[in-house]
Chain A
């Protein structure tokens, strides 16, 4: 069946900070452009999750009058703390000894989902056509190999792939330029990086998994504007990660944990590390008698400068964390994502008006503050390969004494799926039972995300080899998918005395961790039917 097609000047895939900034900037440069933006979640913001302490630098450039536009950027950072945690103790690190990149006094505590909803309003006012609930499932190419646009997912297909009565074929959206802004490990971005060898000569990309919960806490424990980070317990010296706790408005705290996906022990459960972290006396005393109101998780990019692929290709651009513009030592990716989108818009404008090749992206990028920022930050994450303590010492030297200007660049040596050691060589970890007060099981957590997928549809987590999980991964790595998935999608069940690998794809919260961490890269995340997945509120 042939699909309908629609033509636009620019087609943007993804309604996060980078895609929306691309759209807004394009319309500011030329209000006559026809721009369409696709978003896989049921509404803008429903799949996005971030800390978030927001640096306004990119927004100041994009919408200088944002303060007058009723933006959801309200809570200024008033106080900062950094704690090193031991099992029961905590040591406060003086903030003046923190590198400048980790100081937040000019920043704001925000919900990125709400920021995106607001950016979408601004974009729609400018005439951008935004279509939530339509995942782009396929890249379309011209005969000369350049990107022609995307196709949206067919709707109304049953589990076996047959068309239901409600079948609605996907449509082709053709753009003179297509901008991919899917966020970390975008499923089309991944294909494009491979096809156009955009990561040639770059280090393997590095990822982390981030968790976030929103708690409503007691008045006496709440200090609006307080930003607190921790390192140390419950992670060991060799596992990269840490926590954040941001005191937002309405007596809420945004509490979260990030763990590098280059961890080695297959018995490690990032979810349980986060749950356990909350039981530390320094944390528990703040959230005690509070109420958990939201939960979510999402993979994030940590590779930075060394791993950043080329962001242009014939007919298309790759922006934000679909490429990987997050600044790891700053623990911020929103302002950099926005800036990369704005550079994409400038590039497209030159392309349309002067006939410049899209490769002009690189030139504008290299002259921007974004490039300088990522360059300075480049050595922090790889130094933690030497462990937490040496990593901190090196970061102090690199960031405080040399301000990121050391004359060498450390490398990321391994991709995250290569780092797991065999299960029998690594210690088992005994995680405490959930108390349903401070710590919770995955089921009740996923319940808070509002996640659903229409049940009779093809499983959107594909196995290249369906037998591999039981025949190989279970024996060698004790099937770590059971633990790295933050939503309990993967289970090994015993059926007729035989192990069986079960994929509860309906629970999937679209974090992409399985696509990244599966040791044989055997799990492929593809787009489910539109509108499926979590329904995050103010994450």
Chain B
């Protein structure tokens, strides 16, 4: 069994996001970038399945500019066997990424495709679902537990009401939740070994996919600032203010 895992390079979750002064986007120069956190869970799960003997190969794929390759390199350092970097420039929307992943899936013929449930930069939460539709494969989203059975997967999903367990046929798409596992650290010797693992570079244009954005971004703004709170001296004052000033009771 072969597992394809899609990883995305995003601004590190600890970095405070700053909007460009002309509102054309966010500042990314000299900002620390990392792998999208739930994508780390996706890689970890694939590597665990391989370690349990149920999979034979884990392939990490990313789509994006030159430096996006770092995320593939990191995946290789924590146990993926080889990597694919589909090179593109400019803004990528989930549909374009899904179409690229569709081509890669058709080429690689994996039994499972894993990825994070959403990326922390645009929060779209669409790529896995779109890929499922494009391939006409079953999908299990927001997975917090995955059990591999013969030609089937039992997946526990994080949903609003609690946990839902479903069974789907493979081949399938699974999008991973942060609760799925605790990603391992890349050890120094493994980082060194990862430098020697192969990464295939493919130009998006060679796949015949039109990556042009379908949406026009008008402007990016910071959310409005919250007003400072006030301290009240007594419950009576609080009630009075809620009634007369905030007018909520």
Give the B-binding residues of A (Cβ under 8 A).
Answer: 4, 6, 42-43, 45-46, 111, 113-114, 117, 129, 131, 134, 152, 155-156, 164-166, 168, 171, 173, 216, 251, 293, 436, 447-448, 450-452, 530, 535, 537-538
Contacts and interface: CB of A to CB of B under 8 A. Distances in A.
B185 A129 contact: no
B179 interface: no
A6 B188 contact: yes
A171 B30 CA distance: 30
A168 B187 contact: yes
B197 interface: no
Contacts of B184: 156, 166, 168
A450 B12 contact: yes
B32 A450 contact: yes
Interface string B6-41: 000000101110100100000001111010000000
Contact of A134 (B21, B182, B183, B188): B188
Nearest to A45: B30
Nearest to A129: B192
Contacts of A436: 228
A222 B149 CA distance: 65
A168 B15 contact: no
Contacts of B188: 6, 131, 134, 152, 171, 173
B182 A113 contact: no
Contact of B182 (A46, A114, A165): A165
B15 A535 contact: yes
Interface in B157-198: 182-185, 187-189, 191-192
Contacts of B30: 45, 111, 113-114, 117, 537-538
Given A156-B184, A166-B182, 13 more contacts: A6-B188, A6-B192, A42-B12, A131-B188, A134-B188, A152-B188, A166-B183, A166-B185, A171-B189, A450-B16, A452-B14, A535-B14, A537-B32
Contacts of A46: 32
Main secondary structure of the interface of B (DSSP, over half): loop
A128 B145 CA distance: 41
A4 B32 contact: no
Main secondary structure of the interface of A (DSSP, over half): mixed
A156 B21 contact: no
Interface string B28-67: 0111101000000000000000000000000000000000
A358 to B, nearest CB: 26
Interface of B: 12, 14-16, 18, 21, 29-32, 34, 182-185, 187-189, 191-192, 228
A355 B12 CA distance: 46
Contact of A43 (B32, B182, B187): B32
Nearest to B34: A42
Nearest to B225: A436
A46 B30 CA distance: 9
Contacts of B29: 537-538
Contacts of B12: 42, 450, 535
A165 B21 CA distance: 44
B71 to A, nearest CB: 13
A159 to B, nearest CB: 15
Among B14, B15, B29, find the residue whose CB has the most chain A CB atoms closer than 10 A: B14
Contacts of B21: 216, 251
Nearest to B12: A535
7 contacts: A6-B192, A131-B188, A168-B187, A293-B18, A450-B16, A535-B15, A537-B29
Among B29, B30, B31, B192, find the residue whose CB has the most chain A CB atoms closer than 10 A: B30
A42 B185 contact: no
A537 B30 CA distance: 5
Contacts of B192: 6, 129
A23 to B, nearest CB: 17
B28 to A, nearest CB: 10
Among B16, B18, B188, B189, find the residue whose CB has the most chain A CB atoms closer than 10 A: B188
Which 10 residue pairs are nearest across A and B when measured between Cβ atoms? Answer: A155-B185, A168-B185, A450-B14, A452-B14, A535-B32, A450-B15, A537-B30, A538-B30, A168-B187, A166-B184
A134 B189 CA distance: 12
Contacts of A155: 185, 187
Nearest to A537: B30
Contacts of B182: 164-166
Given A113-B30, A537-B31, A4 B185 contact: no
Contacts of A452: 14
Among A114, A117, A173, A537, find the residue whose CB has the most chain B CB atoms closer than 10 A: A537
B40 to A, nearest CB: 11
Among B16, B192, B228, find the residue whose CB has the most chain A CB atoms closer than 10 A: B16
Nearest to B228: A436
Given A166-B182, A535-B15, A42 B187 contact: no
Contacts of B16: 447-448, 450
A165 B185 CA distance: 11
